Amino acid sequence: MLKIGILGGGQLGRMLLQAAANYPVETLVLENDTECPAAHLCHHFVKGDIRNFNDVYNFGKTLDGITIEIESVNVEALEKLENEGVKIYPRPSALRIIRDKILQKQFYKENEIPSPVFRITEKKDDLKKFYDFLPAVHKKASGGYDGRGVQVLSEEKDLHLGFDQPSVLEKKVDIHKEISQIIAINASGQTALYPAVEMIFNQTLNQLDYQLSPAEIPQHTSWRVEAIALKVVKELKSPGIFAVEIFIDKNGDVLVNETAPRVHNSGHHTIEANFSSQFDMLWRVMLDYPLGNPKHIVHAAMVNLTGSEGNSGNAVYEGIDEILKMENIFLHLYGKKETRPGRKMGHITILSPEKSDLVYKAKIIKQKFRIISHQSQITV
């Protein structure tokens, strides 16, 4: 049986392990937090830092393959392991490009992949040179996730909000829709494209509110999305699964925002709504099996369940009974003991052939399901 390691033990790792249970594979997780969502579902849990060379190298040296559920991993250790014959998907060369937003933007430019125009800043002071470039979005080259590390700079007086570390300054796009295109690619270069999904954002938290699959976009736009995302994945020259985040602007132009070289939040619905889920698909790639069928069986919406504002501590799931009475909804809780405002604690997938039903149920879930902390439940 092949031994495959996962770097990171969050919810993406947890769902990967749920899918791994169907395959002849021995799974290992490297993660510092022994109570993490993936800790109890793998065959072997190894405590260690995914950013530390020795921890990653020692974890990987007896394995057949490694994949990731988060990009902030020690790429140097993965390079050494790859040279020693361990199968690393995504390849360290692709990770190197993606983990640094400056390199990622340069990669799009060099490969003529449409993406918002950008400038590079090394320190906050550099922003002064670019005031005529505003409105723009400042993004840390590394260390940002879930919208942290992203700052909109609308006018000159906002420049002080910028980051004092290497970053990219990107022209602000007049966004019509945000789309995610997930693509799997195997070692022989065969690809499987999921139907694109449409993301609806919560402006306050700068986090996904709910998402719809398939996206409601014209056929010619969807062909363009597929062609551009496919070019990104082919040029990265690595097997694996990739989520290409895309903006469709008010003119209908298609621009790449960023690429995640792993299973992605925007693919959670594929567990119930598509023939082969993104998690199932990645195992097929890792284990050199034929790719699965990415097509959707039914339309779906997915709602992230995040910790309510003002609540930190032991998680309590308010409204869970009412939500579970609803038809064709699928609850996934990630087993995180502690809730914090905005923390991703779980998600719910809704299936229905009717868009109105999906949107209605998504709104009800947002209203009725709250993740609060134990103390506040007593005092409220």
Neighbours of 143 (CB within 10 A): 12
Contact predicate 64/5, CB 8 Å: no
22-33 burial, b for 16+ CB within 10 Å, e for fewer? ebebebbbbbee
- Judged by CB under 6 A, does residue 116 bind ligand ATP? yes
221-253 burial, b for 16+ CB within 10 Å, e for fewer? bbebbbebbbbbbebbebbbbbbbbbbbeeeee
Under rule CB under 6 A, which residues in 237-266 are in contact with ligand ATP? 245, 257-258
- Judged by CB under 6 A, does residue 145 bind ligand ATP? yes
Nearest distance in Å: CB 135, ligand ATP: 8
Whether cis (ω within 30° of 0) applies to the bond prior to 37 is no
Which of 42/197 has CB closer to ligand ATP?
A: 197
Under rule CB under 5 A, which residues in 208-267 are in contact with Mg ion? 245
Q: Which stretch binds ligand ATP (CB under 6 A): 64-72, 143-151, 279-287, 328-336?
A: 143-151
Q: Which residue, chain included where needed, has tokens 């270069």?
A: 189
- Judged by CB under 6 A, does residue 69 bind ligand ATP? no
- Judged by CB under 6 A, does residue 173 bind ligand ATP? yes
Contact predicate 222/215, CB 8 Å: yes
One residue of 31, 69, 71, 170 binding ligand ATP per CB under 6 A: 170
| 137 contact choice in ligand ATP, Mg ion, none (CB below 5 to 8 Å, kind-dependent) | ligand ATP
- Judged by CB under 6 A, does residue 114 bind ligand ATP? no
CB-based contacts of 309, cutoff 8 Å, min separation 6: 341, 342
Give me the 200-239 binding string for ligand ATP, x by CB under 6 A, dash otherwise. -x----x---------------------------------
The DSSP-derived string for 162-222 is: S-SSSEEEEEPP-EEEEEEEEEEE-TT--EEEPPPEEEEEETTTTEEEEEEES----HHHH
Contact predicate 250/174, CB 8 Å: yes
Nearest distance in Å: CB 204, ligand ATP: 12
| 3 contact choice in Mg ion, ligand ATP, none (CB below 5 to 8 Å, kind-dependent) | none
Q: Which stretch binds ligand ATP (CB under 6 A): 71-79, 146-154, 334-342, 352-360?
A: 146-154
- Tokens in use for 43? 């065959």
Footprint of ligand ATP (CB under 6 A): 116, 137, 139, 144-147, 149-150, 170, 172-173, 175, 178, 201, 206, 245, 257-258
Footprint of Mg ion (CB under 5 A): 245
